[in-house]
């Protein structure tokens, strides 16, 4: 009985989402995107912000983490 409910549920979900979206991340999770503002540091009264290589998460947002490589550093104000 559980198997039948699961199959029917999957079929309904497939109809609602469509073939392209069911079970897939678009764009693909982990695919590179633009540089994204990350943490920063203060030096000599100037605040510098790191920009790190971004990647797409499964929701299509361009995100980054501190483990990603630095694309560039930019002055972002005073501290």
pLDDT surpasses 50 at 62? yes
Q: Given this model, what pLDDT does residue 23 score?
A: 60
- Residue 5: per-residue pLDDT: 42
Q: In terms of Cα–Cα distance, which of 59, 39, 57, 35 is closest to 48?
A: 39
* Tokens (6 digits) for 17: 């989402």
- Per the model's pLDDT, the better-predicted residue between 27 and 59 turns out to be 59
Three-class SS state of 11: helix
In this structure, the dihedral spanned by the alpha carbons of residues 58, 62, 64 and 70, taken in order and rounded to 10 degrees, is 140
The span from the CA of 2 to the CA of 25, in Å, is 27
The reply to whether the predicted model has a pTM over 0.95 is no
Whole-number Å distance between alpha carbons of 6 and 12: 10
């Amino acid at each position: 009985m559980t198997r039948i409910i699961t199959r029917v549920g999957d079929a309904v979900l497939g109809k609602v989402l469509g073939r392209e979206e069911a079970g897939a991340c678009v764009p693909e999770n982990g695919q590179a995107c633009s540089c994204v503002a990350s943490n920063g540091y203060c030096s000599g009264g100037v605040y510098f912000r790191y920009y790190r290589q971004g990647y797409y998460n499964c929701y299509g947002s361009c995100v980054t983490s501190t483990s990603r490589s630095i694309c560039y550093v930019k002055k972002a104000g005073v501290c």
